[in-house]
Amino acid sequence: LAKTTQPISMDSYEGQEVNITCSHNNIATNDYITWYQQFPSQGPRFIIQGYKTKVTNEVASLFIPADRKSSTLSLPRVSLSDTAVYYCLVGGSRQAGTALIFGKGTTLSVSS
Amino acid sequence: GAVVSQHPSRVICKSGTSVKIECRSLDFQATTMFWYRQFPKQSLMLMATSNEGSKATYEQGVEKDKFLINHASLTLSTLTVTSAHPEDSSFYICSARDPGGGADTEAFFGQGTRLTVV
């Protein structure tokens, strides 16, 4: 599995756009990039997944450059409720029998 | 979407006793479920892979006789912490993916169980 590197923590204010970048220099050809969000005392929740270029859903956008050695999760206009830990995961198999291996994650703190 | 439910959400037990945590897939059949442990301010650590109808696969350093896993049906996996000690106090989380969810299937996580051993 490709190793990922994310900032340990980030601070932001309500209404700002937050971009969290994840480095994955050893990403393999068949690897996908997935981001999860975790609130205190809760299980992680899927945010977004992508392979290349840009993916957007109702919650976030994921930007992946052509070399795929990094990716950026973009959260538009964050609110206090976006305070959480964000995990970037890289892996090739999205099959049911494959476990997710989590790195350290980025703790995002949003203030008013 | 698919949901994974975990029970109980919180449990306090005395040192030396055993505690059972249940993980259910509510609207899909999961032949494989995963158990994680998370200590305060740390990331999730995979403990074991639970396989329906066969023995669980444990990660290195996880004692299989202490953390008993039973995957009795396609919708239920249980983790039993035997002879619990204070150092077993942690947040335990289960996860599963819907095998019928297609190539883009995401992993679903339970709500987690906060175990406190006193």
Q: What would the pLDDT profile of B92-105 be if each residue is shown by its tens digit?
A: 999 998 776 665 56
Interchain pair A41, B112: CB under 8 A: yes
Assign A91 a pLDDT band (cuts: 50, 70, 90): confident
A97 lies within 8 A of chain B by CB: yes
- Top-confidence residue, A60 or A100: A60
The yes-or-no verdict on residue B108 having pLDDT over 70 is yes
B8: preceding bond cis by omega (within 30 degrees): yes
Interchain pair B43, A103: CB under 8 A: yes
Encode chain A in three state secondary structure: CCCCECCCEEEEECCCCEEEEEECCCCCCCCEEEEEEECCCCCCEEEEEECCEEEECCCCEEEECCCCCEEEEEECCCCHHHCEEEEEEEECCCCCCCCCCCCCCEEEEEEC
Distance CA A87, CA A104 (A): 7
* Per-residue model confidence as pLDDT tens digits over B57-79: 999 999 999 999 999 899 999 99
Angle at alpha carbon of residue B65, lines to B62 and B70, rounded to 5°: 95
